[in-house]
Amino acid sequence: MKSGHRITLVLLLCLFGAAPTFADSDSFYCTGRGYIAFDLRSFIHPGLNSPHMLRLFRFEAQRGIYKAAEWPMKDFQVHAMSCTPDRIVVTGSENARYVFDVAHESGESKADDDVTSSLEGQLGWSVAGVRTLESHDLEHRYQLVLSVSTKGTEVTCRAELLQLDSHQKVSQSVLLYERRYEETAD
């Protein structure tokens, strides 16, 4: 193949290539105002009560950060997850589709397609960094901190949810996700 053809091929792959996928993974997440939801799979996290689970954490002024719910799901590969003010929609392989009602106690109802405040990604695979989350809490800010560390061949991926006070000091920290694995040479 000529050099010019290789460059063209690389450019086409960059322009039209598919987004990265992570087979047999977990930790897809999305956020809504005052909550974060993410999936966990039992072959990665053996202590779960079902093969696949959706976990919901809420954050607010009165209770801080707390685990609000867990829902069992069949084992499947998640392809997409979206959060609205009222619902979490999870879709994936084998035509899997789950819709979870997360309407707050206020009983407010909004349109299904309102995902303007949703952040989405994978806790265990996203680029390390800090993401500010939206909430109704006027006294605190909430941040999702994603980190990756390597010690030898062991890689540790972590996701923490922080509550910050008006002086930007951490008033609460909750570990949402941690995964360790051995990195192998290809």
Give the span between the Cα atoms of 150 and 171, in whole angstroms: 28
Mean pLDDT (the chain) is 79
Structure tokens at 168: 């930007």
pLDDT, tens digit (0-9, with 9 covering 90-100), for 120-153? 666 655 678 899 999 999 999 999 999 999 999 9
- Maximum C-alpha span of the chain: 65
pLDDT value of residue 53 = 92
pTM of the model: 0.76
At 76-114, the pLDDT tens digits run 889 889 998 889 999 998 888 999 998 854 434 343 444
Interstrand relation of 78-83 and 87-92 (parallel, antiparallel or unpaired):
antiparallel
